[in-house]
Structure 1
Amino acid sequence: MIKILIIEDNEDVRENTAEILTLANYQVHTAEDGEKGIEIAKLTKPAIIICDIMMPKLNGYDVLLHLNKDTTTASIPFIFLTAKTERIDVRKGMNLGADDYLMKPFEESELLDAIASRLQKHNFLKKEFSRDIEGINQFFNEVSISEGMVSLSKNRNAVNFYKGDVIFMEGDAAHTLYFIQKGAIKTHKTTESGKSLVTGLFGPGQFVGQLSLLNKNGIYGDTATTLEQTEVFEIPKTDFKSLLFGDKLISNKFISMISNDLVELQEQLIHMAFSSVRKRLAKVLIDLSEKEILHTSKNKGITISREDLASLIGTATETAIRMLTDFKDEKLILFGPLREISITDKKSLKNIALFG
């Protein structure tokens, strides 16, 4: 049974609200002041909290601030109760992180609808979406329905590229976020001396181009090139910005879906800057393997040109070839008849990626 906590100093309002919710099959806890409410909230972990603003001991704002500081209660949906004369204070409550508010006196239907809406949204935010186009479409569809974001596109366009195709060029106008369904993409920048500097390596379930969509100049900051036959789905910039700058909770959910890519990109750049070539090569081979761009020895490996591999680890082609030969001699990898690379000792390769 879903638990709801009511924090209200007016006994009549508190009891009437509790009765409505009990008849609607909710398990109800009540508190007559803010201090007691915080205590019960931490003890019972309700699914939702309904709290008056003006109360003795601790007002509603202080209750919300206190609960937001505790990781065990910070995510609980919070609805303020307020009198009409307190309308001016509603904005303050919403800015503090409240999810909704009800004006007193309220109708039974208003109360039940507000609770159902908040619970539906809370369940959506806790939901995990698969890292494929079905999961992305499900996320978009559920946001459109639950938040009424009718401006979001209904379908994502699938685009297929051959190995070596350019998806976007450094300096092009940035209008699209790309989601990789299958295949592999490297992003790279051209230095003043004409050399190609790899800035990222992406595989299935990852996004490409998100930082460029936030670029104040409105252009892609690097070039995206496929490493093998690749299928991507296009997400328009308008959708990206609607999700990012709309409802803050939906925005946080969307950011969490793409933030791992950004953290990984930062780690890749640090690795490129400070690691030895041997460590960089091991790290790239592990990344390729785990992103299913390069398979283990139980499956056929894929062919990656030695030039591309050298570019990924930021070294000369001759150096990359020499390191690959060393790894082969150490029985860490095997070369196939088409020069495809298969990992034979992933554990040892991971140790090299970590410790050199």
Structure 2
Amino acid sequence: MNNKKTILIIEDNIDIREGTTEILELTGRYEVITAENGRVGVDLATRHIPDLILCDIMMPELDGYGVLFMLSKIESTAKIPFIFLTAKAERADMRKAMEMGADDYLTKPFDDVELMNAIEVRLKKHEQLSADSGEEYDLNLSEEEQVLLLQELLANSRVKTVKKKQSIFEKDDSPTYVYYVKSGQVRSFKLYKDGRELSTGIYIEGNYFGYASVLLNENYEDYAEAVESSEVILIPKDAFLELLWKKPAIASKFIKLLSVDLREKEEQLLGFAYHSVRKRVANALISVAEKNGININEVNACTIDITRDGIASIAGTANETVSRMLSDFKEEKLISKEKGKIYINSIKNLRDVKQ
């Protein structure tokens, strides 16, 4: 019995068309039919009724938007999972594709893993919807159950080792993954035309990042790089969204994380508006301690590992100003230096630093 799924590839670039076909056929799980333009693609889709369609946007005869529009009006093809293949990374184009009813998009060049993940997730989701089994999704999950589900998601995702200062994603990149710090430390930041950096987040072992752009279906608004040699787990966007769709309790967890991120950014902006540089540097040191998992309500002294550049990025000031503030704090016995790291002698006193 042939249990292979049929994939229709509509792509005018012969190299991409043949390369994608080869990848899919090598798995032994798919039969592939191909079309060199949109008009041929619509004809093949209506005659063969494939299980999934991969379609380029910019094509002669009929573009990808036209293909999707025409197939959505035909009862037999309206519900076929539809994934755009596009070299166009502009936000407006991606939004237009999703608003028209596309299930997903892959930005060229994409790798084999991205392609297979996108296809498998969409086929699985389509089967679940078609079965209409009346499955009840858990509205309430214990913390332990949430942890187990997220651990399973992580276990099925790829681990990437990143070196110190190595980029993980850049501003305006299309969100393909949600990231999880398995070990090490990662920071996100904005970069201004004059060369200044503004830190937007510090992530340590056990932290997720990059999920806001995935949830909003928008390109990244900042940069992310490893602060030190780190291991980062790359959770495919589709697998992440499917879990949230099936388990509202997990979705609620990430909504809360988004709320915390928003509150921290609001506090940061208020600090820029109303706090002196001295106060902002003190708050930056405390923030780093918190981000490193130190309970500042229970511990009054701790060691943190951060560069002057990092502090300047969080505090929104110049390196020279940070050096001067750290010297002042050292003279006031608020901090000391230990093997290149900063030892906070009293979190309480640092928090009470006056304007």
Q: Structure 1 CA distance, aligned partners of 2:254 and 2:307?
A: 35
Take 1:214 and 1:165, find their aligned partners in 2: how far apart are those partners?
25
Q: Distance in 2 between matches of 1:219 and 1:268?
A: 23
Match of 1:127 among 111, 121, 143: 143
Larger Rg: 1
1:291 aligns with 2:301: no
Q: Structure 2 unaligned runs (5+)?
A: 1-133
Match of 2:318 among 316, 319, 324: 316
Partner of 1:330: 332
For 1:1-356, what aligned pairs fall within 5 Å after superposition?
Answer: 121=138, 125-127=141-143, 136=147, 138-140=148-150, 155-216=156-217, 218-246=218-246, 248-256=248-256, 259-292=259-292, 301-302=304-305, 304-336=306-338, 338-352=339-353, 356=355
- Give distance in 2, aligned partners of 1:331 and 1:197: 28
- Give, in whole Å, the separation in 2 of the partners of 1:180 and 1:276: 33
Cα distance, 1:215–1:141 mapped onto 2, change above 3 Å: closer
For residues 283 and 157 of structure 2, the distance between their equivalents in structure 1, rounded to whole angstroms, comes to 32
The code of the aligned residue for 1:329 comes to E
Paired residue for 2:27?
none
Counterpart secondary structure, 2:193: coil
* Whole-angstrom CA distance in 2 between matches of 1:211 and 1:300: 30
Aligned-CA RMSD value = 3.3
Q: Kindly tell me the number of residue pairs found equivalent between the two proteins.
A: 219
Distance 2:221 2:204 in 1: 19
The 8 Å contact of residues 289 and 304 in structure 2, kept in 1 or not, is answered as: no
CA contact (8 A) 1:188 1:198 kept: yes
- Structure 1 length-normalised TM: 0.53
Note the alpha carbon deviations across 1:82-131, whole angstroms, 9 max, x for none: xxxxxxxxxxxxxxxxxxxxxxxxxxxxxxxx9xx98x946x524257xx
C-alpha change, 1:214 and 1:257, in structure 2 (3 Å) is closer
Give the distance between the partners of 2:304 and 2:250, measured in 1 at CA.
Answer: 40
Q: What is the DSSP-based 3-state SS (H/G/I as helix, E as strand, rest coil) of the residue aligned with 1:125?
A: coil
Distance 1:253 1:121 in 2: 14
Classify the secondary structure of the residue corresponding to 2:352: helix
TM-score by length of 2: 0.53
Over residues 174-230 of structure 1, what are the superposed CA-to-partner deviations in whole Å (9 max), with x where a residue is unaligned?
1111122333222112223343222223333322112222344x4211101222232
Distance 1:334 1:290, change over 3 A: same
Q: How far did residue 261 of structure 1 move?
A: 3.6
How far off its partner does 1:317 sit?
0.9
Q: Structure 1 stretches of 5 or more lacking a match?
A: 1-113, 130-134, 143-151
1:162 CA displacement: 2.5
Identity %: 35
Contact 1:188 1:199 in 2 (8 A): yes
CA distance in 2 between partners of 1:169 and 1:187 (Å): 9
- AA in 1 matched with 2:174: A
Q: Secondary structure at the match of 1:234?
A: strand
Q: How far apart in 2 are the matches of 1:290 and 1:283?
A: 10
Q: CA 1:272–1:229 in structure 2 vs 1: closer, same or farther (change >3 Å)?
A: farther
Change (3 A) 1:141 1:289: closer
1:200/1:268 contact within 8 Å kept: no
Q: Distance in 2 between matches of 1:192 and 1:310?
A: 16
Name the amino acid aligned to 2:241: K
Write out per-residue CA displacement over residues 293-322 of structure 1, whole angstroms, 9 at most, x where no aligned residue. Answer: 8998977653x3322321221111110000
